[in-house]
Amino acid sequence: MAAQAQVKKKKAAKKDKKILVIVESPAKAKTIEKYLGPDYSVKASMGHLIDLPKSRTAIDVDNDFEPEYITVRGRAKVLKELQGDAKKSDKVLLASDNDREGEAIAWHLQNAIHAKSEQVPIQRISFNEITPQAIKDAVASPRSIDDAKVNAQKARRVLDRLVGYNLSPLLWKKVKNGLSAGRVQSVALRLICEREKEVESFIPDEYWTLEADFKVGRSVYTAQLVSWRSNKPELKNEAAVQDIIDKIKNAECFVSEVRETDKSVRPKPPFTTSQLQQTAANRLGFTSRKTMQVAQQLYEGVNIGNARVGIITYMRTDSVRISRTALDEVREWLGKNYPNDFPEKAIEYSVGKKAQDAHEAIRPTYTSYTPDSIKEYLSKDQLRLYTLIWERFVSSQMNNAKTRTVSVDIKVVSGEDEGIFRVAGTKVIEKGFYKVLKLLTSKEDKGNPYPLLKQGDKVNVEKFYPEQHFTQGPPRYTDATIVRILEEKGIGRPSTYAPIISVLLDRYYVTRSNKQLVPTILGKMINDILVEYFPHYIDAGFTAAMETKLDEVEESHVRWPDMIREFWTPFKARVDEVGKTVESFKGSLDEPTDYTCEKCGKPLVKKLGRFGFFLACSGFPDCRNAKSIPLAKCPKCGGDVVARKNKGRGKEFYGCTNYPNCDFLSHFKPINQNCPKCGHFMVEKYDKKNGAHKACINPSCDYLHSVEEDSGE
């Protein structure tokens, strides 16, 4: 009887065994578990469980750069639970993301599980979308772990560790404790700092434009002067514009030419990661980090009625390729909803030369899930981002749109003087792919009315509109434009664009101002040092070449230790040389001031901290008094204007130290310069008309920093 009971117990235990699926996030686990049924158990690793220690370099440079991995602090419990679950399972399927990081996570898990339960069979599954069919197909086609992909991740991790853990201590020793440098983000910082120098050195030039109202019958058209005396008009000042107005205000005016131009507008390909980040920044005002966070939610799964489903494909990709199944589905949907607006054959977009093409483009998993049909299940941000993705994908498989532009030239003749004013209108004559665009539509797509004029029509000039402008300097980088330049230069990969920006912001090397990325004093200082002593290693071309070598490791064309060795030998020699020959800057950044500590009477010293310069007592550590540096004199009471922050949103503004007795406040940062017109302090402003420029804080003063004043100083 006892023997029979034992057999029954063993059979019951065997029956209870399940297949363990390990994914990265709980949200993904929740979605996948609904698809696989009772024979599967789905658990989350919560990302990396095993990695390099933070406290030391942990790379054996004398033994083929072998990394020393440990269980990540605070993650031992999760790892132990997964090892225990694996031991009780028939089989383990590792389902982390299908990229280098995901492959490395799977490799570490496999090693950790086999260390405790050597006999448990472990396989790898991967998928591009989290839908019932995609998951079932993945489970039906398991594979081994891709060692080449693991090696590429290992090489990148080792490379970043060797750079960061050698440059950072050098900065501590020579400049200031707590500073850090990284392989890729230092290049991005260099790009931002170089652009900032261009912005700061730019001096705007004044120029004018001239528009006029022309009346024919009851209709009035506003046209712009495009030609004067057969040349492009050069209107450098108000006098030049007024001279033309005086000559033509009573002139004979007639329509000299009417041109009609048709244009075919092609739809854009579906999104890659960088294009999604750029479009979300421009259209929705999302940061790169926010775009990826919301996209991750859409990918991992949302509840649509009673079903939980991932509604977009994997969001880290550099390819515009679309699967045949997805193309068939979208064409079937278009056939039902827009039967006359899609071509006979599916449109294929060429994949860029630099693209790894490991994943499809970002697209909706089901075309039938239109934004309107599922909006009640999504948050506001989820719906807006999903709408961009859905519209871009569906429109990419539709016919071209066609526009017609009618351009009218109005000739103004006064004696020997002759000018041309031009007015144009554009209309969409065949909507094509524009029919599905709502959130992605633009003013250009909507068009504007044609001028209803014909050649020979006589018109009367009614009113002139002279307008002053200033040339705009190069714009600072935004999330969208820095991502674009990183992609163009081959720096980083789809998974790293958002983290690069985040690291620079978190370290306070860069701040955001009007959605622009502005280097801090600390960021500029770090960049200057790295550019002076390590120009080769933080060069965009060099960094792009390293990315290409990592791709070659993944393609098994290069052994990763050989690639690291080629980099390490000259790099380490340069670090050692700088460490020995360059004098320490420590203390040299401290500047004596005329300010006195109100607590102990000792002089205050200007110091550089993590968040910029501040005033600290020279009696430290006996006296720990510290305060903000005065940026300007208050125009109301003569007190000091300093930088302040709101408690809630943490937004910086500039106010008087005599608050609440003085309520002076400015949202514009004072600069170390007084207005030559009225003596008030100057501030840095930004608007769409003038871009970034310097102006007087005094609202009754119209001084604007220009080339004439600058050259006269």
The set of catalytic residues is 314
Place of tokens 């799977």: 106
SS3 at position 82: helix
Are 440 and 392 spatial neighbours (Cβ–Cβ below 8 Å)?
yes
Contacts of 455 (CB under 8 A, 6+ apart): 255, 256, 257, 258
Reported for 695-698, long-range contacts at CB under 8 A and 24+ positions apart, including other chains, are: 697/632, 697/635, 697/666, 697/668, 697/670, 698/635
Q: Are 637 and 631 in contact (CB under 8 A)?
A: no
Q: Is 363 helix (H, G, I), strand (E, B) or coil?
A: coil
Alpha carbons within 13 A on the beta-carbon side of 612? 13
Count H helices and E strands in the chain, helices first.
Answer: 20, 29
Residues paired with 216 in a beta bridge: 219
CA distance 298 to 280: 15
- Alpha-carbon dihedral sign for residues 316, 317, 320, 326: negative
502: how many CB neighbours lie within 10 A of its CB? 15
Contact 213, 221 (CB under 8 A): yes
What is the CB neighbour count within 10 angstroms for residue 646? 9
Q: Which of 213, 229, 210 has its CA nearest to residue 221?
A: 213
Compute CA distances 168 → 126, 179, 530, whole Å. Answer: 37, 6, 11
Strand pairing class (417-430; 401-414): antiparallel
Give yes or no for a contact between 605 and 590, defined as CB atoms under 8 angstroms apart: yes
